Amino acid sequence: MKKWVVIISIFICCMIGFVMNSYLQGMQERKEYYNYAANEAKRAADISTVDEFFLYNGRETYYVIVGKTSDGEKKTVWIPKDQEKKIIQKSYSFGKSKEEILKMVQNELKPYEIISIKPGMEKNIPIWEVTYKDRDGKYNYYYFDYKTGEWLKFYKSI
């Protein structure tokens, strides 16, 4: 009996170690993306303070920084993972705010639980990606034009 308790305890400890290692590796990778994006945003758009960082994985991967310049102007900077592509920067007031998109989604789509609202880029068009769960527990993805808030596309009940 003691032998089984020891074997099960070792197995549980190994599983905990594996899960923790996987988590730490994932967080390290995200930190590297953040550092790269913050440096690029500073270089390309004079971002001195980073307020938010988003990782967008659509047709292409973009790192998105929302922050303030040394002059105090709030900007959004889209940094493509493909370094051959151009970095895009816009004044934060250029488009709809995260709060405006949230209010619009709550009023029109009536989500059960909002998972995330993050800026992204599709076909060189800045967008907002909204991920939420419906009452059946299914995921829904809605994409809105960053500037106008106009609905562009969606994937429902995934």
> Strand 74-80 to strand 113-122: parallel, antiparallel, or no bridges (unpaired)?
unpaired
Structure-model confidence comparison of residues 27 and 139, the more confident one: 139
Residue 23 in this model has a pLDDT that exceeds 80: no
21, amino acid identity? N
Output the pLDDT for position 15. Answer: 82
Q: What percent of the chain has pLDDT over 70?
A: 97
Output the pLDDT for position 158. Answer: 67
The mean pLDDT value for 130-140 works out to 92
The mean pLDDT value for 38-59 works out to 92
First to last CA, the chain: 46
- Residues in Cβ contact with 68 at an 8 Å cutoff, skipping those fewer than 6 apart: 47, 48, 49, 51, 74, 75
Structure-model confidence comparison of residues 6 and 53, the more confident one: 53
Average pLDDT of the chain, as a whole number = 88
Consecutive H or E run containing 110: none
- Per-residue pLDDT band for 27 (boundaries 50, 70, 90) equals low
Two tokens, residue 13: 């400890």
The mean pLDDT value for 49-73 works out to 93
CA distance linking residue 85 with residue 73, whole number of Å: 24
Residue 72 in this model has a pLDDT that exceeds 70: yes
Asked which of 14-18, 20-24, 71-75, 84-88 is least confident by mean pLDDT, the reply is 20-24
CA distance linking residue 40 with residue 45, whole number of Å: 8
The mean pLDDT value for 15-23 works out to 77
pTM of the model: 0.81
Helix spans in 46-128 (H)? 98-108
Which residue in this structure is represented by tokens 């970095």?
Answer: 87
